[in-house]
Copies of this chain bind each other. A is one copy, B any other.
Amino acid sequence: MGQRIRFNAFQMNAASHQSPGLWTHPRDSAHRYTDPQHWVDLAKLLERGVFDGVFLADVLGVYDVFGGNHEAAVRHGVQVPVNDPLALVPLMAQATEHLGFGVTCALTYEHPYPFARRISTLDHLTGGRVGWNIVTGYLDSAARNLGLSNQLGHDARYDLADEYMDVVYKLWEKSWADDAVRRDKATGTFTDPAKVRPIRHAGTHYQVPGIHLCEPSPQRTPVLYQAGTSPRGVAFAARHAECVFISGPTETVLKRYVDTVRGGLVAQGRPADDVLIYAQALVITAPTEAEARAKHRELLEHIDVEASLALLSGWTGVDFSKYDPDAPIEHVDTEAGRTALASFSQTDPSRKWAVGEAARFIGLGGRGPVIVGSASQVADELERWVDATGIDGFNLTYALAHETMRDVVDHVVPELQRRGRYATSYSDGTLREKLFARGPRLGAGHAATRVRI
């Protein structure tokens, strides 16, 4: 029996996430993203499927690289409109007992002092089921609307991020002692002031002299997720992350990311298996292979090339409106563009790829693989990806909300459980305890617990 396979659900508080044309499918219900019941239903479904958690993506800007404006993104609903992901956590937590929440918050967009309080609040209200996907932000449009003339450079964002992490670690881990709060009605001592310390942070980017505003929450620091695969991003993840999300179209690409991340951990003095790695994937399944293939064909008809290129342009910073969809990808005259497209063409190097074909690849399921078949076939395939790449599980996207997830929960989860490769129930405790079977808090070796105040 192989190692356990883990599932996260990859979602966004928007009508369209990783399969940008699929909202046009008659059975898609993602446009219900403004209805709380949409999220309550999802949370209950995922908990029934013993998912580790729901991972909420976010952008604080629009995909306006394609054509130099927001028109294509707006027309196709490409991650716009997009609502605040944090508001979904209390909702979904109320409807569940165990499901975890990994919320994307770009640290360049909010000051660490109020942010630390927001997360502590959610960790309290969820009984310690909150994770934070640390991103530094990649859309210039977001930076511009925050009054910055443009995004900080990539490495500069990570330098700022390191200081940001120091500030929130000091607030979460060091400001309040475990036994600071007494609630001693007899002496009138709610909190022992000697056990609450100002963090006195005086850095390059932030000055935070005071105490954290929140008493220690079940996890103190939320479970830390990261998704960077650049050298600086990997170094950041190796220092901070407990879980890593990766996305790539082939086993080769994924294995390279996995090796890089695990190598980065070792370089930081952490065990290679100290993080859980989830790879993005889309599973299309049904009771029989024939039905699954029919469903897949039906979904393919809803791919939208322009919408996909708008997404890809935002991810890469390359304006793909300049290229004929029929042009061979070698005609793309920027290296970033060619590299992005070439990675998709590796899924089938036997033929010549055009720009539009690469767009069609990401049009269903984004940058990850699409795995189609009966439960048994999908399970075989998932096991193969895990065993070949060294990932710990999958960050599963949807084509249709919530049908795709329901299919996985109803068909694939029971099959993996029969094979002994998937949890049949949750363990107790906080999200961190469920993931790592250690304590509710970060261990002494982690950067968070080593900060000094």
Bound-complex Cα distance A76 to B182 (A) = 10
Is A74 a contact of B193 with CB atoms below 8 Å? yes
- Name which of A82-90, A263-271, A346-354 contacts chain B: A82-90
Interface centre among A15, A110, A111, A211 (most CB of B within 10 A): A211
A415: which B residues are within 8 A, CB to CB? none
Among A44-52, A140-148, A367-375, which stretch is in contact with chain B? A140-148
A121 partner residues in chain B, CB cutoff 8 A: 13, 83-84, 87
Whether, in the assembled complex, A114 has its beta carbon less than 8 Å from a beta carbon of chain B, the answer is yes
Residues of B within 8 A of A62 (CB): 210-211, 213
Stretch at the interface among A21-29, A287-295, A418-426: A21-29
A448 at the interface (CB under 8 A from B): no
The answer to whether B75 touches A189 (Cβ under 8 A) is yes
CA–CA, A185 and B144, complex, Å: 32
| Contact B77–A191 (Cβ < 8 Å) | yes
Tell me if A209 counts as interface (CB < 8 A to partner B): yes
Tell me the smallest distance from the CB of A209 to a CB of chain B, in Å: 6
Question: Closest chain B residue to A79 by CB distance?
Answer: B213
B210–A144 touching, CB < 8 Å:
yes
A91 within 8 A of B: yes
Can you report 27 residue pairs joining A to B where beta carbons are below 8 Å apart? A15-B190, A21-B188, A23-B183, A25-B185, A31-B183, A40-B94, A60-B113, A60-B114, A71-B193, A74-B190, A74-B193, A74-B211, A75-B191, A75-B193, A80-B211, A81-B181, A81-B213, A81-B215, A82-B213, A83-B124, A83-B213, A83-B214, A90-B90, A111-B146, A141-B210, A145-B210, A147-B207
Q: Shortest CB–CB separation between residue A28 and chain B, in angstroms? A: 8
Residues of B within 8 A of A82 (CB): 117, 213-214
Q: Which residues of B contact A113 (CB under 8 A)?
A: 60, 145-146
How many residues of chain A are within 8 Å of chain B by beta carbon?
A: 74
Given contacts A76-B190, A87-B125, A192-B75, contact A210 B36 (CB under 8 A): no
Given A34-B124, A81-B215, A94-B94, 10 other A-B residues pairs in contact with their CB atoms under 8 A? A40-B94, A60-B113, A74-B190, A74-B191, A74-B193, A74-B196, A81-B191, A84-B114, A111-B147, A147-B207
Interface residue A304 (Cβ < 8 Å from any Cβ of B): yes
Closest approach, in angstroms, between the C-beta of A211 and any C-beta of chain B?
A: 6
Return chain B residues, CB-CB under 8 Å to A87.
86-87, 89-90, 118, 121-122, 125
Identity of the chain B residue whose Cβ is nearest the Cβ of A26 in the assembled complex: B185
Is A206 at the interface (CB under 8 A from chain B)? yes
A208 within 8 A of partner (CB): yes
Contact of A61 among B83, B86, B188, B210 (CB under 8 A): B210
- Residues of B contacting A210 with CB < 8 Å? 61-62, 70, 141, 144-145
Q: Which residues of B contact A345 (CB under 8 A)?
A: none
A25 contacts across to B, CB distance below 8 A: 185
Residues of B within 8 A of A209 (CB): 144-145
Q: For A185, give the chain B residue with the smallest CB separation.
A: B24
Q: Which 6 A-B pairs have the closest CB atoms?
A: A77-B190, A34-B124, A83-B121, A84-B121, A71-B193, A81-B215
Report whether B110 and A114 are in contact in the complex, using a CB–CB cutoff of 8 Å.
Answer: yes
Separation of A121 and B35 alpha carbons in the complex (Å): 10
Q: Which of B94, B118, B144, B192 contacts A84 (CB 8 A)?
A: B118
A 98-112 to B, binary, CB cutoff 8 A, 1 in contact else 0: 000000000001110
Q: Tell me if A94 and B36 are in contact (CB < 8 A).
A: yes
Complex Cα spacing A207 to B145, Å:
7
Residue of B nearest to A186 (CB): B24
Q: At the interface, yes or no: A431 with Cβ under 8 Å from chain B?
A: no
In the complex, chain A residues 393-444 whose Cβ is within 8 Å of any chain B Cβ: none
A26 to B215, CA, bound (A): 21
With a CB–CB cut-off of 8 A, which chain B residues contact A60?
113-114, 117, 213
- Closest B residue to A124 using CB positions: B34
A73 shortest CB reach to chain B, Å: 9
